[in-house]
Amino acid sequence: MNISGNGQRGKFIVFEGIDGSGKSTQIRMLSKRLQDMKLKVYTTFEPTAGTIGTLIRQMLSGKIKIDQRTLAFLFAADRMDHLVNEENGIRKKIDKGELVICDRYYFSSYAYHSQYMDMEWVIHANSLNADTLRPDLTVFIDVEPEECFERIQTNRNDFEIYEKIDIMKKVRTNYLKAFERLRDLEKIVVIDGNKLADHVGDAIFREVMKIIHPA
Ligand code: TMP
């Protein structure tokens, strides 16, 4: 069943974190828990699996060289497509009362691209996206960059351009800066992700419940 009754807006929950912070595991665990409550959950991610997202992945792997400003605009364009495309755009799903969970959204852009450009520029480049849909909740899984780096090294052979320890440290700092900058406009929770996955999952579930069934 949808989370809201007739004519009511759904909820948009976003997960953020540096590479290796355990977002995918936590999204899987949360979706299962919500589905067990008979809620219909749509999970999705950015960069998307669409045309622009696929192009972006080739740039992240280093296969295609790209200027960082152009890459930031591509992410913003991929995001707009994710929101409004006819087939499975998130905006329509939210309007229909669905619960949508997304792995990364515009805070990823603020954190990753402000390594190269002023954060205000990146926020401005995404302003149409923010006007189209602001998350009801952004969950930031905060894990020590050293720990994330170790997890990535253990689990994979191929690395994307941002999967380097100094970049990961910078990105974490940028996330915290972006949260501070936008704290009056956005609902953000920072979850300590250094604990066992089940404990992290419980903390996230409690926060999500406050959004789904406010007291
Ligand atoms: P993933 O590893 O979570 O699939 O994300 C792919 C990479 O894309 C990750 O290193 C973060 C980066 N990214 C940006 O640089 N800007 C963005 O707007 C998004 C959504 C992701």
What is the mean pLDDT of the segment spanning 1-18? 85
Strands (E), 76-160: 99-103, 137-142
Confidence of residue 162 (pLDDT cuts 50, 70, 90): confident
Average pLDDT of the residues of the chain: 94
pLDDT value of position 111: 98
User: What residue type is 27 in one-letter code?
Assistant: I
For the CA of 46, the nearest atom of ligand 1: 20
* Residue of 67, 104, 151 with the most ligand 1 atoms within 8 Å of its CB, for mutation: 104
State the CB neighbour count (10 A cutoff) for residue 103: 17
Burial class of residue 102 (count of CB atoms within 10 Å of its CB; 0-12, 13-18, 19+): buried
Alpha-carbon distances, residue 48 vs 44, 90, 102 (angstroms): 8, 12, 10
Q: What is the pLDDT of residue 164?
A: 87
Q: What are phi and psi of 168, to 5 degrees?
A: -65, -35
Which ligand 1 atom lies nearest to the CA of residue 103?
3
Round to whole Å and give the CA distance between 215 and 209: 9
In whole angstroms, give the CA distance from residue 11 to residue 8. 10
**Whether the bond into 135 is cis, omega within 30 of 0:** no
What is the residue whose two structure tokens read 């622009």?
52
Of all protein residues, whose CA lies closest to atom 21 belonging to ligand 1?
108
Predicted pLDDT at 6: 59
pLDDT score at 154: 87
Taking CA atoms only, the protein residue closest to ligand 1 atom 2 is 19
Burial of 144 (0-12, 13-18, 19+ CB in 10 A): middle
Q: Which atom of ligand 1 is nearest to the CA of 162?
A: 10
Per-residue model confidence (pLDDT) at position 153: 87
Give the pocket of ligand 1 (CB within 6 Å): 19, 46-47, 60, 75, 103-104, 108-109, 112, 160, 162
Among candidate residues 12, 15, 40, 11, the one with its CA nearest the CA of residue 25: 15
Q: Is 57 helix (H, G, I), strand (E, B) or coil?
A: helix
Name the residue with tokens 């501070």.
180
Dump pLDDT digits (tens) for 118-161: 999 999 999 999 999 999 999 999 999 999 999 998 887 777 77
Residue of 60, 66, 159 to test ligand 1 pocket, by largest number of atoms within 8 Å of CB: 60
d(CA 143, CA 84): 32
d(CA 119, CA 116): 9
Unique residue bearing structure tokens 């990364």: 104
Nearest CA to ligand 1 atom 1: 19
The CATH class of 11-212 is alpha beta
